[in-house]
Amino acid sequence: MPPVTAQAHDVIRSVVRPGETVIDATAGNGHDTRFLAQLVGPRGRVYAIDLQPLALQRAQETMPAEGQSQVTWIEGDHARLLELIPEPQHGQIAAVMFNLGYLPGAHKAIVTTSVTTRAAVEAALAVLRPGGVITIIAYTGHAGGAEEASALDELLTGLSPSMYDIERGPIDPAKIHPPRLSVIRKCD
Ligand SMILES: C[S@@+](CC[C@H](N)C(=O)[O-])C[C@H]1O[C@@H](n2cnc3c(N)ncnc32)[C@H](O)[C@@H]1O
């Protein structure tokens, strides 16, 4: 089974076109931001959000020169996504990526929560263009992770099927706490 991060990249690649605008809602070490910057190219835009300066610093340091110009770095809480993303972009966003949890190699107290994730995903739905996609990778092995995953399940289950298609990635039976990909597609 491919890693969940590769599964998410495959989904995003099938939707996003060069020149489009996308969001990395959890920039972290910058793996997804680099992927998105390469995908949208120099005419596109990536809004890369993270709560902690250390993450943004790491992500910026590892961004190749050819990706720098299309990334806008935002230090902030993704629960406030509607304020962080310029209003003219609302309804224009092709994709939003979430990779939940904490920054690998940093303080585990700075972590996504059921409350902030719920607010952020609801805001992401509001800024998405028709046909756009949200990918969310959730982890249950850390404190609060199971609660967050179940809040996310509740949110996804409550979405109108006439407005959104929901897909769940496979669960790796070899892992004790397998990470799980959820995909939300906004209907055209
Ligand atoms: C698993 S890491 C993300 C990994 C990243 N996507 C990558 O490719 O390297 C999760 C990140 O979410 C950030 N985070 C936690 N709560 C947040 C919030 N409320 N708003 C924005 N970022 C948050 C953490 O600081 C951490 O860097």
Atom of ligand 1 nearest to the CA of 79: 19
In this structure, the residue with its CA closest to atom 9 of ligand 1 is 29
How far, in Å, is the centroid of ligand 1 from the Cα of 100?
A: 6
Lowest mean pLDDT segment, chosen from 59-63, 105-109, 161-165, 178-182? 105-109
pLDDT of residue 26: 98
Alpha-carbon span 51 to 78, nearest angstrom: 8
152 class by beta-carbon count within 10 Å (0-12 exposed, 13-18 middle, 19+ buried): buried
pLDDT of residue 43: 97
60 class by beta-carbon count within 10 Å (0-12 exposed, 13-18 middle, 19+ buried): middle
Alpha-carbon separation of residue 131 from 94, 123, 160, 185, 186 (angstroms): 8, 16, 15, 6, 5
Q: 32 CB under 6 A from ligand 1? A: yes
User: What's the pLDDT tens digit per position in 79-117?
Assistant: 999 999 999 999 999 999 999 999 998 888 899 999 999
Atom of ligand 1 nearest to the CA of 117: 19
Atom of ligand 1 nearest to the CA of 59: 9
Alpha-carbon span 154 to 47, nearest angstrom: 27
User: What's the pLDDT tens digit per position in 115-136?
Assistant: 999 999 999 999 999 999 999 9
Q: 145 CB under 6 A from ligand 1? A: no
How far, in Å, is the centroid of ligand 1 from the Cα of 102?
A: 6
Q: 31 CB under 6 A from ligand 1? A: yes
pLDDT of residue 28: 97
Contacts 24+ apart (CB under 8 A), 99-103: 99/5, 99/8, 99/26, 99/28, 99/32, 99/137, 100/26, 100/136, 100/137, 100/138, 100/139, 100/145, 100/148, 101/138, 101/139, 101/142, 101/145, 102/142, 103/28, 103/29, 103/50, 103/52, 103/54, 103/55
Tell me if the pTM is above 0.95.
Answer: yes
Q: 79 CB under 6 A from ligand 1? A: yes
pLDDT classification of 174: cutoffs 50, 70, 90: confident
